[in-house]
Structure 1
Amino acid sequence: MPTRGIRTIAAATLLGLVAGGAEVLGDGFETIILKDGQRVVGDVVAEKPEALYVDLGYDLLKIPRESIAKRAKGEEAAGAVVATPGGTVADPSGFFSTGLLRPAPVKELVAKFGEAVVSIETPSGKGSGFLINDQGYAITNAHVIEGETRISAILYQNAPGGGLARRRIDDVEIVAVNPFFDLALIKLPLPAGLKPGHAILGNGDDVNSGDSVFAVGNPLGLERTVTQGIVSNRSRNLEGQLYIQTDTAINPGNSGGPLFNQRGEVIGVTSRGTRADMADNLGFAIPVGYVKDFVRHREAFAFDKTNPNSGYRYLDPPRRSRSDKPAGLGGSKSDPAKAR
C-alpha cells in the first residue's frame, strides 16, 4: 500500500525498538486511519513518541504520528466513516460535510471555496458567513444577527467569463441561535435551480500551532477580502470558552466568516479581534467542533421570534420617577413600593 511518508522496515527491527525503550503492545488488530484518507490494518506492536510500528504479517510498517488521523478497533473500526483521499463524506446529521482534502495554494483554495463565503447585511451593520450545504443553510456569529428582523445575504458566484457575479438574497431566516458560543444558523431562500458551492468542515483535532490558515470575509465592508497567517494557539481560553488564536487579520465585518486550513477545510468561525491601538496580530475563531455540535443539536437552539431568549433585543421599559407620578394613584415618599 503506497503511503506518502511511510516506509516498511524489517521485522528484526522490533528487537531494536525494545532495546530503545519503545512500548511493545501486540494486543490485537487496529485500523489506522491516515489524514489522506487511507487505512492501514494490522497489529500495533510498538509505539514511540514520533511513530507507530504496525505488524502487517510479513513486515513492519512505520507510521509517523503526524500522518495519523484516527485509530480504531473492532466494531468502531468497521463503522468508521472516512473520506477517500481528496474527498468528502456527509455528516449523519445531513447538514454538512467533512473531508480530508489535499493541500493546495491559497489562490486555488479561494477560487474553489470562495462561493461558500457570503456577506451578511442588516439595518445596523454587516458581517460574514459561510454556506454549509447546497440547501442554503449557513453559519455566522450570533452577534451579527442579534436583535435583527431584516437580514439579507450576498452570494458571490463564479461567472462563466471569469470573476464573480454578485447576487442579493433577501428575507434570510434565522433557524437557530446559541448566544453562549456566539453561533447562529441561518437559511437563505435560494431561487429554484440555484445551488452555490458550500464549505467543508474540517477536523478540530487536526489543528496545531504553526499551521497555515487564511480567512475570507468582509472587513469594514470590503467584500471578498482574503487574509493569511498561522495558528498562534489552538486552544486559547477567553472567558471560559476555547478559541483558536491566529495572527490572521480579523477586523469588524469578518465576524461569522470561515477560517480555513491549508487544505481548504473550515477549522473555525472568525469572531473577534483586537483594536489596532491595543495590539497587533491577535485574532480569534470559534473552533469547528463547537460548530458541528451546534448544528447537530440545532433543535435545542431553535429560534422563536416570540421568545425573548431567542435572539431579539428587548429594551427595558422606561421607569417613571416619583415626580412623574400621576395624581390620584396614592403612595407616598415613605412607601417606595407604592411610589414607583
Structure 2
Amino acid sequence: AHLTPLAVGDADVVSPGTTPLDAGGNDGLMDAVVKVFCVHCEPNFSLPWQRKRQYSSNSSGFVICTDSRRILTNAHSVEHHTQVKVKRRGSDEKFVAQVLSVGTECDIAMLTVKDEKFWEGIKSVRFGELPRLQDQVTVIGFPIGGDTMSVTQGVVSRIEVTAYAHGASELLGIQIDAAINSGNSGGPAFNDLGECVGIAFQSLKHDDAENIGYVIPTPVIRHFITDYDRNGVYTGFPALGLEWQK
C-alpha cells in the first residue's frame, strides 16, 4: 500500500467509475474553486548543471481571500514550478499566478494572481472547525475523467495523525470515503454548512482498499496561513526533537 499525491500529470490514465454528483445549491462554493495548471522542471542532482525534462500537470485550488488576493492549493501541485496558471469555473481564459509560499511538510501552497480581471465577481470560501466522525463532506475539484468541475460526497471515516506522502511528515489528517482522484489535489472539502473543512491531497492505493482519501484539516491550514501572515514566509511546524522507544 502507498499514499499517492493527486495532481494529474502527462502520464496519468483515466480510471472509470468517477461520476460527478449534482451540486444542488452550491454554485457560490463552486465559484471559489479554480483549476491550476503547472509546468514543472525538476533539478538534476546527479548533474547539477543540467535540469530534467519539463512536464505539466493540472490540479485544483480555491480562493480564500479576495482582499489579499490569495489562493490555496497543494505544495506538490506546484513543486519545481517554472510556470503556474489558474482558470476559473466556466471560463477558458488562463491567468498567470505567482507562488507566494510553499509548505512542503504540510503539502500546502499559497498563490496569487496580479491580473484584476481574474478577481472580478469571484467568491471566497470560509473555514469551519474540525469535523466529527460520520459528518458529511463534499469535495469539489477538477479530477481526471473530464474537463469540467466534479463534485463528490462522502463522510468522515477517521481523524488521526497521518503520514503526508509529499513532505514525508506526520500531521493531523482526515480520512474520507468520498471519491478523490488525480487532479483533486488542492480542492476544498466542505461540510453541510458550506464551510471549508479541509484540502484534498492524497489517497491510499491498495488492492484491498477502496475510496480511502485524505484531506488536510483546518487546524493545519490555519497554522500555514498564520505563519505566513506573521513571518512573510512559511517557517514550518515545531518539533520536540525527542525520540523514544519501547
Q: What TM-score, normalized by structure 1, do the two folds share? A: 0.52
Task: Tell me the SS of whatever aligns to 2:28.
Answer: helix
Task: Tell me the SS of whatever aligns to 1:129.
Answer: strand
Contact 1:106 1:262 in 2 (8 A): no
- Is 1:211 aligned to residue 127 of structure 2? no
Contact 1:221 1:253 in 2 (8 A): no
- Is 1:144 aligned to residue 67 of structure 2? no
Gaps of at least 5 residues in structure 2 are: 1-21, 40-55, 164-168, 235-246
Q: For residue 47 of structure 2, what is the aligned residue in structure 1?
A: none
Query: How far apart are the structure 2 equivalents of 1:126 and 1:253?
Result: 6
| Corresponding residue to 1:282 among 184, 202, 212 | 212
Query: How far apart are the structure 1 equivalents of 2:161 and 2:135?
Result: 15
- Is 1:257 aligned to residue 187 of structure 2? yes
Q: CA deviation at 1:276?
A: 6.5
Query: How far apart are the structure 2 equivalents of 1:266 and 1:219?
Result: 18
CA spacing shift, 1:236–1:209, aligned 2, 3 Å: farther
| Corresponding residue to 2:152 among 227, 234, 254 | 227
Q: For residue 52 of structure 1, what is the aligned residue in structure 2?
A: none
Contact 1:178 1:301 in 2 (8 A): no
Q: What TM-score, normalized by structure 2, do the two folds share? A: 0.71
**Identity percentage of aligned residues:** 29
- Is 1:133 aligned to residue 57 of structure 2? no
Aligned-partner residue type, residue 291 of structure 1 = I
- Is 1:154 aligned to residue 83 of structure 2? no
Query: How far apart are the structure 2 equivalents of 1:237 and 1:116?
Result: 27
What are the equivalent positions in structure 2 for 1:189-338 lying under 5 Å apart?
189-192=114-117, 194-204=120-130, 207-220=131-144, 222=146, 223-238=148-163, 240-275=170-205, 277-298=207-228, 300=231, 302=233
| Corresponding residue to 2:106 among 181, 187, 205 | 181
Task: Tell me the SS of whatever aligns to 1:107.
Answer: coil
Query: How far apart are the structure 1 equivalents of 2:139 and 2:218?
Result: 14
What are the equivalent positions in structure 2 for 1:18-57 lying under 5 Å apart?
none
Query: How far apart are the structure 1 equivalents of 2:232 and 2:207?
Result: 37
Aligned-partner residue type, residue 194 of structure 1 = E
Task: Tell me the SS of whatever aligns to 1:151.
Answer: strand
Query: How far apart are the structure 1 equivalents of 2:120 and 2:102?
Result: 26
Aligned-partner residue type, residue 233 of structure 2 = A
- Is 1:107 aligned to residue 24 of structure 2? yes
Higher relative contact order (CA 8 A, sep 6+): 2
Contact 1:134 1:195 in 2 (8 A): no
What are the equivalent positions in structure 2 for 1:85-96 lying under 5 Å apart?
none
Contact 2:95 2:115 in 1 (8 A): no
Aligned-partner residue type, residue 132 of structure 2 = N
Contact 1:258 1:266 in 2 (8 A): yes
Query: How far apart are the structure 2 equivalents of 1:217 and 1:106?
Result: 12
Query: How far apart are the structure 2 equivalents of 1:201 and 1:190?
Result: 25
Contact 1:152 1:168 in 2 (8 A): no
Residue by residue, what CA displacement relative to the aligned partner does 1:89-131 show, whole Å, maximum 9, x if unpaired? xxxxxxxxxxxxxxxx9511x2121110000011321110000
Structure 1: which 4+ aligned runs deviate by more than 6 Å? none
Q: CA deviation at 1:261?
A: 0.5
CA spacing shift, 1:232–1:137, aligned 2, 3 Å: same
Q: For residue 32 of structure 2, what is the aligned residue in structure 1?
A: 116
Contact 2:201 2:215 in 1 (8 A): yes
Contact 1:216 1:257 in 2 (8 A): yes
Task: Tell me the SS of whatever aligns to 1:295.
Answer: helix
Aligned-partner residue type, residue 149 of structure 1 = T
Q: CA deviation at 1:263?
A: 0.8
Contact 1:215 1:228 in 2 (8 A): yes
Contact 1:113 1:264 in 2 (8 A): yes
Q: Which has the higher helix share?
A: 1
- Structure number with bigger Rg: 1
Number of residues paired by the alignment?
188
Task: Tell me the SS of whatever aligns to 1:297.
Answer: helix
